[in-house]
Amino acid sequence: MSTPARRRLMRDFKRLQTDPPTGISGSPMDSNILMWQAVIFGPDDTPWEGGTFNLTLEFNEEYPNKPPKVRFITKMFHPNIYNDGQICLDILQNQWSPIYDISAILTSIQSLLCDPNPNSPANSEAANLFQSNKREYDRRVRDIVEQSWVESGGVDDDEDDEDSDEDDSNMEDEENNE
């Protein structure tokens, strides 16, 4: 059944395929155009660099007049992301406009990662650290980035990287002694 919302979502999908924003991908889940999965990659030269963050977008028949429900599936540590993955972002709430498409939504979320609003916190611990101890905040973000690799199946869960480096140098020593 073709409805205005479904036609708009198809148009958004085609645009996302032909002109994808850097570090973002998204597509409908299986046979339901109203349910989407998306991935945002952490922007370069930020504590989020290298992260792979999965989201779901749930649209209803009122789209684009009403925003989708967007939620991170990947565990996050960010001032504007609730523990359940919901996102506190003005364009998903009181500043929504039908001119926003899926690319704009995902790009805005990617920007929010690096430019949080600690004055409107969804996670008060992250907001406090961001304001009072940026170094610790960045360390926690890097931990989340590493966890995202495991969750997305990108890297083995090797807790002790230093031992791995030592093992490599020991192997080199053994090769040199042969």
The catalytic site residues sit at 88
Q: Which of 60, 43, 61 is nearest to 52 (CA)?
A: 43
Taking the C-alpha atoms of residue 136 and residue 130, their distance in angstroms, rounded to an integer, is: 8
Our CA angle for 69, 49, 157, nearest 5°, is 90
Q: Strand, coil or helix: what is 154? A: coil
Cα(first)–Cα(last) distance of the chain, in Å?
A: 71
Q: What is the dihedral of CA 98, 108, 88, 73, to 10 degrees?
A: 110
Cβ neighbors of 65 (< 8 A, separation 6 or more) are 98
Taking the C-alpha atoms of residue 163 and residue 168, their distance in angstroms, rounded to an integer, is: 9
Taking the C-alpha atoms of residue 48 and residue 126, their distance in angstroms, rounded to an integer, is: 14
